[in-house]
Structure 1
Amino acid sequence: MENRKVKMDQHTNLLQLEEHMYPLVDVKTPNVFRNLFPYDEVPKIAFNDRIVPHHMPDDIWITDTTFRDGQQSRAPYTTEQIVALYDYMHRLGGPKGKIKQSEFFLYSKKDRDAVYKCMERGYEFPEVTSWIRASKKDFELVKDIGMKETGILVSCSDYHIFYKMKMTRKEAMEHYLSIVKDCLEIGISPRCHLEDVTRADIYGYVIPFCLELMKLMEQYNIPIKIRCCDTMGYGVNYAGAVIPRSVQGIIYGIMTHAGVPSELIEWHGHNDFYKAVSNSTTAWLYGACGVNCSLFGIGERTGNTPLEAMVFEYAQLRGTLDGMDTRVITEMAEYYEKEIGYHIPSRTPFVGRNFNVTRAGIHADGLLKNEEIYNIFDTDKFLNRPVLVAVSNTSGLAGIAHWINTYYKLSEDKRLSKDHPLIAMVKEWVDKEYESGRVTVLTDNELVKVIDESCRKLNIVL
């Protein structure tokens, strides 16, 4: 007790007694938390009502895995597409670089070409980082390219250590530490990806391992980042939930008991149970500076935390966008649709074609009177996406005119009034649809087709 340090906690202004007494628990048989993860039943969320305090860091940011995890679930991007998306991310992150890093594969010539071209842009943010196999050969490649940091896979659950790697915990830890030392020896900063952390023994393995990493960081004077990877999406953010499923419990343990500073902690979430966004936000709230995301959530299985979602989570938590240009999000979505050929589901928040389209007749009536009633915020200002009212039998001439003006983004001097002959022609077609027994709202594609035909008949161009 006498040798343990007493230090001031800058967030609480209370003296804290360090209790870093977590030796490795080298079990003979794997602890796979069968009580929480019975494979032939739905996983269980258990509680012990142990509450940890909020610990929002002074600065928080987003990191990107679009070109790494995001490429593990779709056809690879071309070099040109990667560079274009990297440019978009630089603009989206703004002058303060709120999108701090983007990670890349280095395996193929195409990947490396993209890395070189992105680095040639000379942007401070997002910093180009890598994801490599844990080998000296790959470390040298990172160094030759001129990167300062690389990700290293250090799977931490007994599922991976015993069943996949066929090792004991002690053997796995020694293996990982030797790899990290190899990285440090050539001056590269390692980012340790704690794969499957939400099924790992937090106090028996994860914290002892992180303590050893912090010793190496002190020895080599090179930062070592800890990425908490919720590989299977098991994390929950409920107060009092037990570890290893508790997001705040994991962050608290790594920060408080392993002594990892907030700026070196990052959360990487998956969406298997629809919790990627809320879990990433929770990681911020309880001490992680970074949340790792991919554009539109594209990633392994159900995907990663959507990057665009965390941009708006940031703004809600901080009360400011801190210079992030959110209109770029719409440009990116259009690029995916038109240049990459990726279809974004129409109801996807912020980027889907119908995310701010009102279809219910009673909602449409209120929205036409005041769009604040049924729109989440000024979507025209933040996303260059004016609110739309879907056309139905209750829309009337004004509703059809509003749809055309907003859908086609007509400037003030070109906007159509409800008295325009095009509006009358479209309404006539709409009325016939519903007179014939239709009960559903009209789709965008149907309306565009009718409007195109009507424009040709009237010899006008929108």
Structure 2
Amino acid sequence: MIEFNKKSNTLEQTQYRYALQDVAEPNLYREIYSYDEVPKCAFNHRRVPMNPADEIWITDTTFRDGQQSRAPYTVEQIVTLFDYLHRLGGPNGIIRQTEFFLYSDKDKEAVYKCMERGYQFPEITSWIRASKTDFELAKQMGMKETGFLVSCSDYHIFNKLKMTRRQAMDSYLSVIKEAISVGIKPRCHLEDITRADFYGFVVPFALELRKLMDESGVPIKLRACDTMGYGVSYPGAALPRSVGGIIYGLRHHAGFPSELIEWHGHNDFYKAVCNSSTAWLYGCSSVNCSLLGIGERTGNTPLEAMVFEYASLRGTTDGMDTTVITEIAEYYEKELDYEIPPRTPFVGRHFNVTQAGIHADGLLKDEEIYNIFNTGKLLNRPIGVAITQTSGLAGIALWANNYFRLSGDALIDKKDERVAVIKEWIDAQYQTGRNTSISDKEMLKVIRELAPSLIP
């Protein structure tokens, strides 16, 4: 049968409906995932079209997945971070939702405290066990939406749940119907989708969800979970690893609109950010992230990274206050005693700090030469310089200009004789075996002793 697709404005064949393949043995994709070897990336050279949604946004899992790999946050800390998320997301709610556990009394207290803030964004959602009791709890606490696992790979269905595909599907559908019956919008976490039989289970299951959604009138959200970080963004990559293929398939074959599709990525192979951006480009409205990328194993997609990916793809921050990212980083280090690797993009202490003399020389002339963007304006983090044996005269002059906040005619040039005096002291330090950078405190002390006139 051929029908006209109003979304693509083309005639398309629709005669094939993907049905559940209730296989006797699990399909573990052993040619790709042999376990004793690095996972292989296969290509079938089938390219699906990029089709970004009209609207894209960020959702947060700091208080759910982000709490599975660190000491639990206190209620006060959760509320403070929730405030930061609200400010960062801005009045347009680009950070649309954040999710909470509802297991313990502390979890519930944190939810109530955040609700008292009265923010429209981020919307508070929950993550619960797939049981009638927990659905009732979510409803009592005022949750409009809640998430739960609907594991979709045979690794989980056969080896963990000890079910067949038919049994798993029937079990999931019964739970989703329970959620709808108590007035909760389900968010189905398609766990381990990058090892799942996409046409043999994922699409048939999604089609059943689509039917249930049409019958009930209740929107059902699909969260495509790259649980092990296996997803790849390469054009022409084959399923089950193709991020573009997964999003295209959920939209085109299962008929889900972009606003009901969410990508949840992990960073096991350093691909979390790229895969999340790819999901946006191929039609997924929502990408799920955590602050600083803190999450299970190597972590989730860093939320702060997707703030800048959003601005890059859309050409605007749409009201987001990006300077809050620096406040969040400082809060983690000072209040939560969390050590951020210093060269972590956007949040590390040294992400825009140079140690190379040749770079410092360029920064002295024009900071755009070696700074990614105006970090002073967008992150309240002016460029910095760390003084080492390679900083040279330019590095010392740049340090002084930055530290003393000099501008215009007051700027110190690298040819200044006082800079040369300081450099002689620095060179002597490293000639006698020093192997650490020179702190701001040390620099200030030396300047006071050897070149006090540098101090304004």
- TM-score of the pair, normalised by structure 1: 0.92
Distance of 2:15 and 2:223 partners within structure 1 = 23
Partners of 1:314 and 1:172 lie apart in 2 by 36
Identify if the C-alpha distance between structure 1 residues 5 and 184 changes in structure 2 by more than 3 Å, giving closer, same or farther.
Answer: farther
> How far apart, CA to CA, are the structure 2 residues paired with 1:89 and 1:19?
46
Q: Provide Cα deviations, 1:381-439, integer angstroms capped at 9, x if missing partner.
A: 11011111222346466633532553x574869x885799997886564232134255x
Distance 2:364 2:321 in 1: 28
Decide whether the 8 Å contact of 1:425 with 1:454 is kept in 2.
no
- Residue 75 of structure 1: aligned partner: 71
Equivalent of 1:448, from 435, 440, 443? 440
Aligned 1:226-245 pairs, distance under 5 A: 226-245=222-241
Matches within 5 A, 1:50-65: 50-65=46-61
Q: CA deviation at 1:453?
A: 4.9
User: 1:7 corresponds to which residue?
Assistant: 5
Which consecutive unaligned segments of at least 5 residues does structure 1 have? none
Q: 1:35 aligns with which of 22, 31, 36?
A: 31
Task: Identify the residue that residue 257 of structure 2 maps to in structure 1.
Answer: 261
Q: 1:191 aligns with which of 184, 187, 192?
A: 187
Is 1:165–2:161 an aligned residue pair? yes
- Structure 1 residue 115 and structure 2 residue 111: aligned? yes
Give per-residue Cα distances to partners, 1:68-119, cap 9 Å, x unaligned: 0000000000101110001001111111100000000111111111111111
What is the match of residue 128 of structure 2?
Answer: 132
Residues in 2 aligned to 1:84 and 1:207: alpha-carbon distance in whole angstroms? 40
Q: Quick check: 289-298 or 357-366, which moved more?
A: 357-366
Mapping 1:52-451, distance limit 5 Å: 52-393=48-389, 395=391, 399-406=395-402, 408=403, 410=405, 427=423, 429-436=425-432, 442-443=436-437, 446-451=438-443
Q: 1:203 to 1:330 in 2, by over 3 A?
A: same
Alpha-carbon distance, 1:219 to partner? 1.3
SS at 1:212's partner residue? helix
Question: Does structure 1 conserve the Cα–Cα contact (< 8 Å) formed by 2:356 and 2:395?
Answer: no
- What code does the residue aligned with 1:30 have? P
SS of residue in 2 equivalent to 1:228:
strand
| Amino-acid identity (%) | 67
- Residue 404 and residue 105 in structure 1: after superposition, are their counterparts in 2 closer, same or farther (change >3 A)? farther
Q: Which residue identity does 1:324 align to in structure 2?
A: M
Displacement, 1:145? 0.6
CA contact (8 A) 1:196 1:231 kept: yes
Question: 2:316, 2:360 → 1: CA distance?
Answer: 30
CA distance in structure 1 between the partners assigned to 2:41 and 2:392 by the alignment = 50
1:89 and 1:99 in contact (8 A); partners too: yes
Distance in 2 (alpha carbons) for counterparts of 1:335 and 1:60: 28
1:430-451, CA deviations, whole angstroms, 9 ceiling, x for partnerless residues?
Answer: 232134255x6x53xx413414
1:377 maps to amino acid: F
State the alpha-carbon separation in 1 of the partners of residues 421 and 99 from structure 2: 52
Q: CA RMSD in A?
A: 2.6
Aligned equivalents of 2:286 and 2:61: distance in 1? Answer: 12
Q: Secondary structure at the match of 1:128?
A: strand
Per-residue CA deviations over 1:314-335 (Å, capped at 9, x if unaligned) read 1111111111110000000000
Tell me the CA shift for residue 176 of structure 1. Answer: 0.3
Range with bigger deviation, 185-194 or 360-369: 360-369
Q: What SS does structure 1 have at the residue aligned with 2:158? A: helix
Deviation at 1:15, TM superposition (A): 4.2
Corresponding residue SS for 1:340? coil
Could you report, residue by residue, the CA deviation over 1:39-96 in whole angstroms, capped at 9, with x for unpaired residues? 1111100111011001100110000000000000000001011100010011111111
Larger displacement relative to structure 2 (332-341 or 13-22): 13-22
Amino acid at match of 2:256: V
Q: Do the aligned residues in 1 keep the contact of 2:261 with 2:284 (CA within 8 Å)?
A: yes
Q: Which amino acid aligns with 2:323?
A: R
Change (3 A) 1:187 1:305: same
Please give the TM-score of this superposition, normalised by the length of structure 2.
0.93
Question: Distance between the aligned counterparts of 1:89 and 1:305, measured in 2?
Answer: 15
Distance change >3 Å, CA 381–CA 20, structure 1 → 2: farther
May I ask how many residue pairs the two structures share in their alignment? 453
Deviation readout 1:198-253 (Å, 9 max, x if unpaired): 00000000000001111111111111000000000000011111100000111111
